[in-house]
Chains A and B, each alone.
Chain A
């Protein structure tokens, strides 16, 4: 099992540009999460998908952020336009049915720097 795969690992972009982060969850997992991690705030949930359907997007900071999950094996998180305060590490995580007592499997994250 390759685990959760995220790309790119690093992204440096200028303010105002569009950024797209990608995630491939573990095969068979039906829950997918996007998190953002900063030193100040730690890990914060952005959005949660179950069976490809967005269940909770209340953590998405602003309308500049959007996420899609067109199928069970792929999800994207898009920021348009990006701002310096979006600089953080973005993690994708997946989990199997019975999430309550199953671990989250995290990818290795995308480190985003917006200048």
Chain B
């Protein structure tokens, strides 16, 4: 059973609008939570890494939040651009090298 669940599975928004992607996890023990962006035909690229003690982390127009108590994270994209069209993958680390991948949210930004 996948320990990292992402929602929605897919999302379409208009250019310039904001959106929020969700990630719920049951992974334990928890080490850190990562968000990756994967463009079509490319490998995933790291957006943020948050440890247990971090609630918010930003990378440009991307802001990730983490609630370790409820085991939830969100990725907020502000003022979306066409280039934001991609799959966004939530990854939760246990300890060491063990990473648990969500199946991703596919985002399409339309003109």
Instruction: Identify the A interface with B (CB < 8 A).
Output: 4, 31, 33, 42-45, 48, 50, 55-56, 91, 93, 99-109
Find out whether the CB atom of A100 lies under 8 angstroms from the CB atom of B43: no
Nearest to B101 among chain A residues (CB) is A43
Q: Chain B contacts of A55 at CB under 8 A?
A: 97
Listed by A's residue number, 9 A-B pairs whose Cβ atoms lie within 8 Å are A42-B103, A45-B99, A50-B97, A91-B44, A100-B93, A101-B32, A103-B46, A106-B45, A107-B43
**In the complex, the 7 A-B pairs of residues with the closest C-beta atoms, listed nearest first:** A106-B43, A103-B46, A42-B103, A43-B101, A108-B43, A106-B44, A108-B42
Nearest to B34 among chain A residues (CB) is A103
For window 91-109 of B, CB contacts with A under 8 Å fall at 93, 95-97, 99, 101-104
Find out whether the CB atom of B32 lies under 8 angstroms from the CB atom of A109: no
For window 13-43 of B, CB contacts with A under 8 Å fall at 31-32, 34, 41-43
Determine the main DSSP class of B at the interface with A: loop
The reply to whether the CB of B10 lies closer than 8 angstroms to some CB of chain A is no
Q: Chain B contacts of A31 at CB under 8 A?
A: 97
Q: Chain A contacts of B93 at CB under 8 A?
A: 100
Instruction: Identify the B interface with A (CB < 8 A).
Output: 2, 31-32, 34, 41-46, 49, 51, 89, 93, 95-97, 99, 101-104
Asked if A91 meets B43 with Cβ closer than 8 Å, knowing A103-B34, A103-B49, the reply is yes
Find out whether the CB atom of B104 lies under 8 angstroms from the CB atom of A42: yes
Asked if A109 meets B97 with Cβ closer than 8 Å, knowing A101-B51, A103-B34, the reply is no
Minimum C-beta distance from A39 to chain B (A): 9
Find out whether the CB atom of A104 lies under 8 angstroms from the CB atom of B46: yes
Among A48, A100, A105, which residue has the most Cβ atoms of chain B within 10 A? A100
Minimum C-beta distance from B23 to chain A (A): 13
